[in-house]
Amino acid sequence: MITANEFKIGLTLELEGAIYVIVNYQPVKPGKGGAFTRTKLKNLRTKRIIEKTFRVEERFQEAYIEEKKVQYLYRAGDMYHFLDQQTFEELIIEADKLSDISKFLKDNIEVTVIFYKNELIEIVLPIFLELKITHTEPGIRGDTARSAYKPATLETGAAIQVPLFITENDIIKLDTRTGEYVERVTRT
């Protein structure tokens, strides 16, 4: 059990049947009345962020989450196969548990899988990935009347917007949090 006085960013706790991670907190000591802590909490299952205030003497159950590094192997139908880097056991995850990250899964990529009491909570991709452009239309020189971006298809099948100078077979860096182009890594 921990108190609101012991809060820190990244701490996970069980609250009203849900698992939250502390995104931000602010201890407050008013001139009148008891001290309290304002927090921003992110629900690990729904990803919603809530704001909540706690008295410093309130007690909470810390949620112990387990993080595993796994390597993506392949997809078979609606099942994604991963290899646990520690035990070398195969981990099979249904497509609906991956949500929108499946569009950035590349063979042999290392991801972090988060469990709480043997329940899969979240799969976390590396923040940046280098992926190859498999299809894009050539950019037309001087075509800046509209946005300076064009659609492109990545080797994983995901469609994103890239600058006009990007061509097929270029390798780009992608921010997996936003799904946006960051920079060109190599040119063909």
**Which CATH number do you get for residue 12?**
2.30.30.30
Cα 118 from Cα 101, distance rounded (Å): 21
Show the DSSP H helices in 50-104 as ranges: 95-98
Residues 38 and 19 in one domain: yes
The last residue of a domain, from among 12, 45, 62:
62
Domain that holds residue 148: 128-186
Q: Are 144 and 99 in contact (CB under 8 A)?
A: no
pLDDT tens per residue across span 24-48: 999 888 888 888 899 999 998 888 9
- Average per-residue pLDDT for the chain: 87
pLDDT tens per residue across span 155-165: 988 999 998 88
Q: Are 139 and 149 in contact (CB under 8 A)?
A: no
Cα 121 from Cα 7, distance rounded (Å): 22
What pLDDT sits at residue 145?
52
This prediction's pTM: 0.74
Q: How many domains does the chain have?
A: 3
